[in-house]
Structure 1
Amino acid sequence: MLAAPLVLVGALFLASCSASAASDAQPDAQPENGDDRPVVLTTFTVLADIAQEVAGEHLEVRSITKPGAEIHGYEPTPGDIRSAADADLILDNGLNLELWFAQFVETVDVPHAVVSEGIDVIDISEDAYAGTPNPHAWMSPTNVQTYVDNTVEAFADLAPEHADDFRANGEAYKAELQQVQDDLTGALERLPESQRALVTCEGAFSYLARDAGLAEAYIWPVNAEQQATPQQIARTIAFVEQNDVPAVFCESTVSDRAMQQVVEATDAEFGGILYVDSLSTDDGPVPTYLDLIRHDADTIVAALTENR
């Protein structure tokens, strides 16, 4: 990949933070570990939950960003850097998701692993991001099984005395992920092939759509572009009409105003809110990754198959 497009994409991502760095930041003061367990630091909450499933009781897992944070334009705080310096391992998604991460890790001497390594990458095909990898690989339960394998390997290197437990935890978790995938694809089989389409605000569901046999359309490719252009909306309307799409969706971290214009211009209904970049707090609707992906799968199936 050429360097110039990467610089452009990085600038777009960093300029697009949908919330202030202060609102996304973790508190500067981090609690002491309090025990002898190695500390694993992840870049966002979804990875933290996946890592915790593998770690069990043997590792302490933390997230740099907090629940509800928009991760694309996140800016590390001094507290993040102090936390990273105390970590024994850092896990990141890769695929240009955490463009703040490269500069971040330059300040600390901590090993890290890229959990998306080995997946079949989908490139973004439109707008300023064309030709760059779609970073939202965790939105496919199939891909997350690869995340789990990479995490198991990284943890076995970090704490080899617990390697067997990490592998057992990983296999059990992968079975739950596969069940979500099987339920999703099975439920969508009742849809005519011409109507198997997923339309969202952000192009965050390319991997889920591919693995579930759905065509995909979206208003903008990345949440950096929350101000939809007339051309983007017109393109989405045309897709909905041409494919007789019964319902459309939007993500929890952005306004659904643009998608409501699509609803008003077509026969499609608004199918509901989907979660992507962040888990909720423990008392919220998606406190774990399995809750998130099950919520999204159930919401998509219910809206697309109702009265079909």
Structure 2
Amino acid sequence: MFRLTSATLALGLMAAPVFADDKLKVVTTFTVIADMAANVAGDAAEVVSITKPGAEIHGYQPTPGDLRRAVDADLILWNGLNLELWFEQFLSNLGDIPSVTVSDGIEPIAIASGSYQGKTNPHAWIGADAAMVYVDNIAAAMADADPDNAAIYTANAAAYKAEIEGVLAPLRAQLSEVEQEKRWLVTCEGAFSYLARDFGLQELYLWPMNTDAVGTPQQVRAVIDGVRENDIPVVFCESTVNTAPAEQVARETGAKYGGVLFVDSLSEPDGPVPTYLDLLRVTSQTVVKGLTAE
């Protein structure tokens, strides 16, 4: 997909080119937001993620190197919604750098159980509808911080949202053909509530947040009972946690273990989900394949 850049804008508006030293520096808390921001930025801004590919972001412990990478940022983007429990202390060490919560304006989903019961589920980026809000918020934040390149950010955001919809539309159509009673999404962490809502799936999970107790016998037993009661055909787990509890549920119920879903982090460039579009595609395809397999 074509990305508008500072060079192409200069050709159209006779504006001066943007040099590397003058670029807006955007720092994000994790790789998913970083990739979204990079797609909005084109070549008009530099984007850096504090956490690395594959990191578990809930209880992340920032390092002195993280602080050094972020200290000269012009803008910091973070998810909010109680996701980055470490971030506010980190931000306080950076001084007066503008920060924007990119989940602002989403329609939230409350966590149904555990110590976070009633609080907003923070994993909104995994839902297609919320992803559009993220992209708009990122573009607005960049345009506000760097108004000379606002047209670039606006154009790239529109193109990127079209790509997101292009990835998810055919998968949503496939899932709509699955019988309603089979449309369950069973996972380790309850990180897929927004995807489940967008795809019309009922949800069952072992634990609500990775910061809670995980994989306890009580959690496993409750999900085993739920899988049996509803005759659920397939169970999944996400990539950044131990998959053994989900595999145990599958063994004891006769459900299939459908494999790994990606949500909290991108992979390295040579891995299965090096971009956010890949994360959406691979995760959604895995769900569709698991629910439509005979």
TM-score normalised over the length of structure 1 = 0.86
Structure 2 residue matching 1:35: 3-state secondary structure: helix
Does 2:44 correspond to 1:58? yes
Deviation at 1:181, TM superposition (A): 2.9
Does 2:252 correspond to 1:265? yes
Q: Which amino acid aligns with 1:103?
A: Q
Contact 1:46 1:279 in 2 (8 A): yes
Structure 1 residue matching 2:170: 3-state secondary structure: helix
Contact 2:266 2:276 in 1 (8 A): yes
Contact 1:50 1:289 in 2 (8 A): yes
Deviation at 1:252, TM superposition (A): 0.9
Does 2:123 correspond to 1:136? yes
In 2, the alpha carbon distance for the partners of 1:233 and 1:77 equals 34
Contact 2:206 2:214 in 1 (8 A): no
* Equivalent residue number for residue 244 of structure 1: 231
- Of 124, 128, 146, 1:159 maps to 146
Contact 2:115 2:212 in 1 (8 A): no
In 1, the alpha carbon distance for the partners of 2:161 and 2:198 equals 16
In 2, the alpha carbon distance for the partners of 1:134 and 1:208 equals 12
- Of 86, 98, 102, 2:88 maps to 102
Does 2:180 correspond to 1:193? yes
Structure 2 residue matching 1:129: 3-state secondary structure: coil
In 1, the alpha carbon distance for the partners of 2:293 and 2:112 equals 31
Deviation at 1:41, TM superposition (A): 0.2
Q: Which amino acid aligns with 1:150?
A: N
- Of 55, 76, 83, 1:90 maps to 76
- Of 52, 55, 59, 1:73 maps to 59
* Equivalent residue number for residue 301 of structure 1: 288
1:34-74 Cα shifts (integer Å, max 9, x gaps): 62211100000000000000000000000000111110111
In 2, the alpha carbon distance for the partners of 1:199 and 1:61 equals 34
Q: Percent of aligned positions with the same letter in both sequences?
A: 55
* Equivalent residue number for residue 107 of structure 2: 120
Deviation at 1:184, TM superposition (A): 2.4
Contact 1:226 1:254 in 2 (8 A): no
Deviation at 1:166, TM superposition (A): 0.8
Structure 1 residue matching 2:206: 3-state secondary structure: strand
Structure 2 residue matching 1:128: 3-state secondary structure: coil
1:202-222 Cα shifts (integer Å, max 9, x gaps): 100001001110000000111
After TM superposition, the structure 1 stretch with the greater mean CA deviation from structure 2, 219-228 or 132-141, is: 219-228
* Equivalent residue number for residue 15 of structure 2: none
Contact 2:27 2:50 in 1 (8 A): yes
In 1, the alpha carbon distance for the partners of 2:93 and 2:239 equals 32
TM-score normalised over the length of structure 2 = 0.90
Structure 1 residue matching 2:85: 3-state secondary structure: coil
Deviation at 1:180, TM superposition (A): 2.6
In 1, the alpha carbon distance for the partners of 2:20 and 2:159 equals 29
Deviation at 1:243, TM superposition (A): 2.0
Number of equivalenced pairs:
275
In structure 2, stretches of 5+ residues that fail to align are 1-18
Does 2:167 correspond to 1:180? yes
Contact 1:43 1:93 in 2 (8 A): yes
* Equivalent residue number for residue 35 of structure 1: 21
Deviation at 1:225, TM superposition (A): 4.0
* Equivalent residue number for residue 203 of structure 1: 190
Q: Which amino acid aligns with 1:142?
A: D
Q: Which amino acid aligns with 2:249?
A: V
Structure 2 residue matching 1:234: 3-state secondary structure: helix
